[in-house]
């Protein structure tokens, strides 16, 4: 039984959310709170497994409460906010502060609208209960991370399941897939890449449409590489990261001209749109052995089929390790399938990517 605390200043939302969650036999709402102060007071006594948290409430507010909850009793948090749709930036801040997921309250009448997202709320709470609350740490600059990897080998660079072959590194593209826990994980990886990173990067992060542009803009502000939400026809150029927009698939194409990104709205694949499988299958077909695939934290198995195909075509695959994953799911599928060439802790992935691609692009090596 998963113990849930519902925190929201609206009595109506607390009642509806409690009814939705309590209707599931795996969930029990053990407490509700009208503000963050009450929630903090009940935290130790009720010991919830998951907290649903509104962001804008009287008092200290949900966003300010997250680090206090993590300091007092680290607990998986699902943000449930009427402002999530209009305040993507606020929700992204909540994820960076320690929340593991979010559910958007629908527009319009809460009494008629919230039940419409009931299934999503239930699944998000169950997913959060399986998550690992990971301590937040500042991103490691690329040069420093490289020095750590060089100095301590496998301890800093990973439990490397298959050492990189001598002469390996003929990569022209990096493709990354992630889901729950991904916003923080991607910030760690991408902020470790130098501005002159020698190849393009394409990313699928499971996220609704309104969030992907805000997420890309936020990454662009803190990373040396350029980051933008992908648009149809965008050129794939060195040192630029393209993030798949919500609700459309991202693929790559390099026939008949310069490499470019393409978007399409075909049906969801592996339960998702954008889908990591769709991206990786495209990368396998277009780049084959010259592609480097990365799979990170997330629930489910999206990406497993695409990365299997990429590896069959000679590409190389890195997987985030279990200990640094919020959800050890998508990466676990790839590892257990035998398709991960290396299993790498989150803090070392950026430096590892830089080292691998520079082996093929020595002219761009930094001094």
Question: Is 207 contained in some domain?
Answer: yes
Decide which of 99, 129, 159 is a domain's last residue: 129
Q: With cut-offs at 50, 70 and 90, classify the pLDDT of residue 104.
A: confident
Q: Is the pLDDT of residue 142 over 50?
A: no
- For the purposes of burial, counting CB atoms within 10 Å of the CB of 40, is it exposed (0-12), middle (13-18) or buried (19 or more)? middle
Domain count across the chain? 2
Q: Which residues are catalytic?
A: 179, 206, 302
Question: Is 172 contained in some domain?
Answer: yes
Question: Is 116 contained in some domain?
Answer: yes
Q: Rounded to whole angstroms, how far apart are CA atoms 101 and 273?
A: 17
Task: Answer yes or no: do 48 and 172 share one domain.
Answer: no
Find the CATH number of the domain harbouring 326.
3.40.50.180
Task: Answer yes or no: do 276 and 323 share one domain.
Answer: yes
pLDDT tens digit string along 291-325?
Answer: 999 999 999 999 999 999 999 999 999 999 999 99
DSSP string, 109-141: -HHHHGGGGHHHHHHHHHHHHT---PPP-PPPP
What's the whole-model pTM score? 0.87
pLDDT tens digit string along 162-192?
Answer: 433 333 458 999 999 999 999 999 999 999 9
Task: Answer yes or no: do 269 and 340 share one domain.
Answer: yes
- What domain range includes position 76? 2-129
Question: Is 134 contained in some domain?
Answer: no
Find the CATH number of the domain harbouring 87.
3.40.50.2300
Which backbone phi and psi does 52 adopt, to 5 degrees?
-95, 135
pLDDT tens digit string along 40-95?
Answer: 999 999 999 999 999 989 999 999 999 999 999 999 999 987 666 667 888 999 99
Contact 6, 14 (CB under 8 A): yes
Decide which of 66, 99, 129 is a domain's last residue: 129
């Amino acid at each position: 039984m998963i113990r849930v605390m519902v925190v929201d200043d609206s009595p109506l939302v607390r009642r509806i959310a409690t009814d939705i969650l309590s209707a599931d036999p795996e969930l029990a709402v053990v407490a509700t709170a009208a503000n963050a102060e009450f929630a903090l007071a009940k935290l130790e006594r009720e010991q919830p497994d998951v907290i649903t948290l509104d962001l804008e409430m009287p008092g200290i507010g949900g966003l300010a409460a997250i680090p206090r909850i993590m300091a007092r009793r680290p607990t998986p948090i699902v943000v449930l906010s009427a402002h999530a749709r209009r305040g993507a930036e606020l929700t992204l801040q909540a994820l960076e502060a320690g929340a593991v997921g979010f559910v958007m309250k629908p527009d319009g009448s809460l009494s008629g609208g919230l039940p419409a997202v009931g299934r999503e709320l239930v699944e998000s709470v169950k997913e959060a209960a399986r998550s690992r609350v990971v301590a937040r740490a500042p991103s490691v600059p690329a040069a420093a991370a490289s020095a750590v990897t060089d100095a301590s080998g496998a301890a800093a660079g990973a439990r490397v399941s298959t050492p990189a072959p001598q002469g390996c590194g003929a990569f022209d593209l990096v493709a990354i897939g992630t889901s729950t826990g991904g916003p923080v994980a991607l910030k760690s990886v991408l902020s470790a890449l130098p501005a002159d990173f020698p190849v393009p990067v394409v990313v699928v992060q499971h996220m609704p449409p309104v969030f992907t542009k805000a997420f890309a803009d936020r990454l662009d502000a803190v990373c040396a590489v350029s980051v933008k939400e992908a648009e149809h026809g965008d050129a794939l150029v060195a040192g630029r990261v393209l993030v798949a927009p919500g609700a459309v698939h991202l693929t790559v194409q390099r026939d008949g001209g310069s490499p470019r990104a393409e978007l399409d709205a075909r049906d969801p694949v592996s339960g998702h749109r954008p889908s990591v499988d769709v991206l990786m299958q495209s990368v396998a077909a277009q780049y084959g052995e010259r592609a480097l695939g990365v799979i990170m934290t997330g629930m489910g198995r999206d990406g497993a089929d695409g990365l299997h195909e990429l590896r069959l075509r000679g590409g190389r695959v890195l997987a985030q390790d279990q200990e640094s994953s919020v959800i050890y799911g998508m990466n676990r599928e790839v590892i257990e399938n035998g398709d991960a060439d290396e299993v790498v802790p989150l803090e070392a992935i950026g430096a590892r990517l830089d080292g691998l691609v520079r082996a093929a692009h020595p002219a761009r090596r930094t001094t």
